[in-house]
Amino acid sequence: MAKKLNISSMNHLLVVVPHQDDEILIGAGLIYQMLKQKKKVTVAIVTNGDYECTDYSKGRARLRETLEGLEVLGLSQENIVFLGYADTGMPREESFLTALFHTEDWEKVFPSSASTITYGLKEKPDFHYLCFGEHGTYTKNTLVNDLQELVRQLKPDAILTTHPSDLHGDHEALFYFIKSIVDDQRESSESRLLVGMVHSPEGDETWPLRDSLHFTCPKGMEETWDERVVLSLDENFTGGKRDGNLKYEALKKYETALEPNAVDYLMAFMKDEEIFWEL
């Protein structure tokens, strides 16, 4: 039996996701409720979403869309972090974060089509540059150090990231990076670890269900479905309506992701609830 998500004990939520709009799909309602209760939220985007782009134009466009989308929910730019890493594809054999996670050479550079070093916006540089005065190379060592430093600086009491069963290689690998860091810092920091699903094992063609206001169990997740925790959303998110729905209004800002063949899938996340698993 699913449990209700209790956010009363959460004072600082760190949302760490691989790509722009992942934070909206899995946690827009949670972010909004935390902010409404005057709690702190930080959103960190690990990659620049610049898949197959040979310059910085796509990545920077997506970063600006993130600022606009999260502004809809009331999150200020100072609480948004760009780590500035590569986006090289969804399948595990193409995924940037999967390659970094599994490599034994912590100093090997894994380039994208656009870069070999982290980048952000002129008005909002990447996290590594802000911390160390230079851009970080696309290596496992740099990414792990950046994630560790992020958690060390913020000391969140709750972290939301992507599910380990997510079909996207970046989503799966990011979970394991975050879990490792949380485990390593357990003695000095006790953070709740929540995960949300974007690309379920059932596939994007049928999940989330398009004509339902509640999430159904994706095929392949039957054993853990009853372990989910459910957040009932504010009236600004419910009813499946688009006009005035804050998740819809936020998603509209991510124009780069709103390709014709993806719109129905993205809009299927407009439910009366959000679901998570606490690990």
Q: What is the pLDDT of residues 45-91, one digit of tens each?
A: 999 999 999 999 999 999 999 999 999 999 999 999 999 999 999 99
The share of the chain scoring above pLDDT 90, in percent, equals 94
Q: pTM for the complete prediction?
A: 0.97
Residue 185: pLDDT band by 50, 70, 90 thresholds? confident
DSSP sequence for the chain: --EE---TT--EEEEEESSTTHHHHHHHHHHHHHHHTT-EEEEEEEE---TT-SSSHHHHHHHHHHHHHHHHTT--GGGEEEEEE----SSTTT-HHHHHHH-S-TT-----SS-SB----SSS--HHHHHHSSPPBSSHHHHHHHHHHHHHHH--SEEEEE-TT-SSHHHHHHHHHHHHHHHHTTTT---EEEEE-SS-TT-TTTSS-TT-SSPPPPTT-TTTGGG-EEEEPPTTT-TT--TT-HHHHHHTT-TTT--TTTHHHHHTT--SEEEEEE-
Residue among 36, 44, 27, 34 at smallest CA distance from 12: 34
Residue 40: pLDDT band by 50, 70, 90 thresholds? very high
Pairing mode, if any, of strands 158-162 and 80-85?
A: unpaired
Do residues 200 and 218 lie in contact, with contact meaning Cβ atoms separated by under 8 Å? yes
Do residues 181 and 143 lie in contact, with contact meaning Cβ atoms separated by under 8 Å? no
Dihedral-angle region of residue 21 (phi above 0 means left; psi in -120 to 50 means alpha; beta otherwise): left
| Residue 276 in tokens | 């998570």
Residue 116: partners with Cβ closer than 8 Å, 6 or more residues away: 109, 137, 138
Residue 189: pLDDT band by 50, 70, 90 thresholds? low
Q: Is the pLDDT confidence value at 241 over 90?
A: no
CA distance 155 to 3: 26
Amino acid symbol at 43:
V
Do residues 73 and 85 lie in contact, with contact meaning Cβ atoms separated by under 8 Å? no
Pairing mode, if any, of strands 192-196 and 273-278?
A: antiparallel
Q: What's residue 129's pLDDT?
A: 98
